[in-house]
Amino acid sequence: MKKLSRHRRHRAVAPLLLIFALLGIGTTFQVAGATTTSPLTAEERTAAIEEGREIFLRGCSSCHGLNAEGGSIAPSLIGVGAASVDFQVATGRMPMADMSQQAMRKAPVYNDEEVAALAAYVSSLAPGPEIPSENMLNYERDGEVAEGGELFRTNCAMCHNFAGQGGALTQGKYAPSVMGVEPVHIYEAMITGPQSMPVFSDKTLTPKEKLSIIKWIKAAEKEPQLGGVALGRVGPVTEGLLVWTLGLGLLIGIAVWLAAKAK
């Protein structure tokens, strides 16, 4: 017992226990992070690709071609990747009735399983951007609000407005609001560049910088309206319009009242 007690009081015991504890915690987090998304087996992936092909032939091939090669009214989908499919289909932008118009967000036609199958099929045609995993999208852990705000104002505000509320573009197009958009779809938009939006590769914006932008957007969503009515937060146009409308209306009303009183 005395010998065991001496070993317990040895100077090296505490550092060794600390090292083992840190290793245990690190291993636990690594396993937890690895198990957040379970990869499909070969059989499951084959089944998903086949299901996605059937959905594609039934609902997409009339515009994008039987082999996703594209045509006169719709682009090729070869090489666009699973991320592009998930962004377009899960947000209801695709399928769309009129390809000459800008695709608007609406209720999705397909459920999550069907969207995943479509994405698996399109990604099997050629390599392309993949759907980011939950571990990759941990913006609370890996993002920085201040950095994200600076990056957003530098790279995004010219189209999406400094408050992320969207704005008008040329030729009747527009940049949609980024408020209320799911983090995965914001990330997918940056790596795929849908419609008028440019692609922000990892050389332009690193994955960490993308997460910082997402973190800033989510922080902006929770920001209180200290000035009262936000009016869409689109700048002085709506504010000036409101002031002119109310001001002129009030002046006209006073003029009519004075004229009626003078009679």
CATH number of 132-225: 1.10.760.10
Query: How far, in Å, CA of 147 to CA of 145, rounded?
Result: 6
DSSP structure string for 94-129: SS-S-TTSPPPP---SS-HHHHHHHHHHHHHHS--P
How much is the pLDDT for 26? 47
Q: What is the pLDDT of residue 153?
A: 96
Contacts of 163 (CB under 8 A, 6+ apart): 220, 233, 234
Could you tell me the pTM of the whole model?
0.74
Report pLDDT digits (tens) over 1-38.
Answer: 545 455 555 555 555 555 555 555 444 434 344 334 46
Q: Does domain 40-131 have CATH number 3.30.565.10?
A: no
The helix/strand/coil state of 167 is strand
At 88 the pLDDT is: 97
Which pLDDT does position 32 carry in this prediction? Answer: 42
**Helical segments of 156-206, H only:** 157-160, 183-192
- Give the model's pLDDT for residue 28: 44
Given this model, what pLDDT does residue 258 score?
84
Ranges of residues in the chain with a pLDDT under 50 are 2, 4, 25-37
Q: What pLDDT, on a 0 to 100 scale, did the predictor assign at position 25? A: 47
Residue range(s) in the chain whose domain bears CATH number 1.10.760.10: 40-131, 132-225
